[in-house]
Structure 1
Amino acid sequence: MKRMNREEDDGTTVDVAVVGHDGRQDSVSSSTGDKDDSQKVAKQSPKKKWRKRSDVWNHFTELRVGANGVKRCECKYCGKQYNCGGENETKNTKRHLARCVRANTKEIAQALIDANDGSLRNPKISQENFREILSFALIKHDLPFSFVEYEGIRDVFKYLNPNVKNITRNTAKMDILKLHGIEAQKVKVMLHECPGRICLTSDLWTCIAIDGYMSITTHFIDKEWNLQKRIINFSYLPPAHLGVAFSENIFKLLCSRGIKKKVFSIVLDNASANNMACTFLKSHLILRNALVCNGEFFHIHCCAHILNLIVQEELKLVDSSVVKIRECLKYVKGSQVRKQRFLNCVSQPMLSSKMALKQDVPTR
């Protein structure tokens, strides 16, 4: 299509005739230079739509004009409607946006998401803190090192944070040994800062695998006058458990902890090997002038062990009765039917049946 302009003699401007591809004239329009006609065209042209520049309209939706001709808008969060016409069309909407509960809640949630890099479920974690907490859990609940390799546990860790790095049992072992070294150093500093003397308690025992172990516990009053109790040794003791070997292990431990001149007493049971060990250890400390009153109060016999020996000796007089009672308990607890019959017998004389039958431990 082509457009052509032509000016007449009287000053009238004629607009172009539009011609199609086949040479046929489609339309012809003309305009005059008269001032009245140009004002008439300007009045008939549509007005340009005004662009809403306020940020309020990001949170409100403009509704259709009602029958009364008043413009209204609706909150995107709570659905409340307001008039939005006139000069102060955003006054009500701004006031509502400042106190809208749902709008503010969404902003807080968005701030939390932004603070966690766009994910509330997967915040950033410290691998060192994760391994330290895991080590404490293994120690506190007496879990095996292979716990960290359980497939279900690893799935839980991955669900909580996909960025977590799983560790092996060997790594868990090294972390616990590292943690043990840190805690041992803390105890060493605490013992060194202790203003008074330290009392020791030691014992030898054999596990179910017939391996011997030695434990040493310290009791002391710290600089703030609080009674403290700390285990400073729990180690494997190879056979034979003679007094000389026992005394040498204790003396080496006291030297490594730096408390050989701060020992007041040691509590041991009445085994003959312990008496010999205490004699050797006492002689070592006296040579270094490390004991009070030349070691007169150094060796203390365990009162609980003495009491236990007395009770065991007296129980031999009623041993046959104790054996019968134990066998009766085993018989009753051997079947659920027997347990029910026993409870029926207990309920007949109006006795309390809340407590269950308990077998004692013969070694205790």
Structure 2
Amino acid sequence: MKSRAVCWTQFIKFNAPDGYKMSRCMKCGKEYEADPFLNGTNAMNVHMRKGCGDKQGTTQQLLNLGKTGVEGEGTLTNWKFDQEATRKGLAYMLIVDEKPFKFVDGMGFKYFMPLCCPMFNIPSRRTITRDCFAFYSEMKEIEKIFSKL
């Protein structure tokens, strides 16, 4: 049976690993429980009415002014925000600069990040810890491969 609610044009249904029926916004990726008998569609409709938090849209690309070797000149290139790449970059920064995980909870960091990258959702300390451990494991595997050569 086809879903009648208007919100289903903007959400994708999927099953979570724990068996719950879930939905994900196609624009911003926010997830909601979506069992038709338990949850309904009100939360998704409210999410759509509030503008979804997607400032640029799903297909619109941003422009980036890159530097060239000549002073006063630059090049325009397409740029698209990637939450995962930004999180990986944050993990790299914390590891290389030997910053504590609580750095992401600091007032200065929380003030600075929306200014330089407004679409970045600042993860919690626990998420950053997992990201750093995953990055470390990935680098360890790469080192193991290169040591065999």
TM-score, normalised with respect to structure 2: 0.46
Determine which structure has greater relative contact order: mean sequence separation of CA pairs < 8 Å that are 6+ residues apart, divided by chain length: 2
Larger radius of gyration: 1
